[in-house]
């Protein structure tokens, strides 16, 4: 396994939050979008994964908005994958 596979494996593990809805949204973006994402979007995804579950839930259920504009844009992308 090369370093890229190790990194993706680690990210996949971080996407597992124990709540199906969160797991689905995060893992779908990782698989479908992360490989082609530019470095700024990848970094925003890393910051998103550093958030605590209550924050993620609030963001992904649109109860709150992340203060970080790049993370907020990524949340919108997670919720509207066609856009």
pLDDT in tens, 32-64: 999 999 999 999 999 999 999 999 999 999 999
What gap in Å lies between CA 54 and CA 66, rounded to an integer?
A: 12
| Per-residue pLDDT at 1 exceeds 70 | no
> How much is the pLDDT for 57?
93
Q: Which of 64, 60, 63 is nearest to 74 (CA)?
A: 60
pTM: 0.85
Q: Under CATH, which architecture does the 3-79 domain have?
A: Orthogonal Bundle (1.10)
Express as a percent the part of the chain with pLDDT over 90.
Answer: 75
């Amino acid at each position: 396994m090369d370093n890229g596979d190790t990194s993706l494996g680690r990210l996949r593990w971080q996407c597992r939050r124990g709540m199906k809805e969160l797991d689905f949204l995060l893992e779908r973006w990782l698989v479908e979008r992360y490989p082609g994402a530019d470095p700024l979007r990848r970094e925003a995804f890393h910051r998103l994964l550093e958030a605590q579950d209550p924050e993620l839930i609030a963001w992904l259920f649109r109860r709150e908005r992340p203060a970080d504009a790049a993370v907020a844009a990524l949340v919108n992308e997670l919720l509207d994958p066609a856009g």
